[in-house]
Structure 1
């Protein structure tokens, strides 16, 4: 993302570092090899690989994540690289407000402290953020949309007004059903648009004929509502723009 006062941030990195580099090259001035902020929402491989390359090759002003109780190999390398390169680091918790330039802030809605211990802690302790910019509120639920623990906690610990947003972003995973609590979160958020981005397919499915990251109508049933649903697996790259008078969303494949 780029703010009107020229600040840049990258949220998660994907599994393909070269594709990420190509996308950044297309969006940044040719001479720019710096980012003001890098945010890791969930310490899973499909978020970490691209960001590992970024914190290795780019000048980064600050890295934000939620930490991890039991670091996996990829996350341990990520944190070690941050330390070795002396990149400022923030471990975010509910209630924190993180500015990006003079007009954009990230409100941290999840996780709480202490972090939750369990077999799904990568999702249970993922970051849920609300971005506030002129004319736009964007609720970034990400992969934590798949965590019943996190969504239930969000509903019981956050004032409903903090969930309201024009756009909500979720990550869907093939073969996994959204928890019922997500529908309640969406009702409280009352968005115009829900953007669904796919998690990386497991290797077995990636090589299987007919495997797809596009959700079927049946899979979408738990989150249907008065909002429009856009899937990046169908639409390609989506670009959000906002100013003081409103916002727009457009396909930019």
Structure 2
């Protein structure tokens, strides 16, 4: 663990995936600290699979967690999590932070498919995901957030997602929800009272030649082409299960 201080826990998890020369993917770096435990699980074909296993509650107020993954040329990596992440209020003052840093080289492929992030009442969490892709990199990135547990008002949640390809920005967006967020976050133009929100980013080199067209995906979901070989699916739902169904259907259609 990076350390435990009066300001909270500092912890980092690192994954590095490389093509092993035999048609598979090796994991020369698989390091988890404190609450960020990593486990390799059985994969299929050339793909390596890693599960993020929460070893303790959190993030709590004042904590700072970081997850980093690097996928080399020709490597294929799939990352999931064993359970939802729950942001909780803690004894330490201040906002908690959860940073995700992903880098996929040319000809590499990453499927980032964690379980939901739940913003519990009284918590304050800032989530930032930064993704850097090579020219022919492939990506499936899913992000799901649930505002509050059953019968509970949400905590304060700020989420930013930035995706770059060859240094060029494909997507850079931020959303703040809960107490202290800008007025209107729960209004008809933003969440409209829904408590589960998610997005799916799919980057495939073949989209350069034939990109899916913009279209609605039901009443509260839509597919939007990005300025590159990429599409963004955004969705709102009443709960986590309905949200997952929407995103799973969209992913099945795209792949």
* More strand by percentage: 2
TM-score between both structures, scaled by the size of structure 1: 0.31
TM-score by length of 2: 0.31
Kindly indicate which of the two structures has a greater share of residues assigned to helix.
Answer: 1
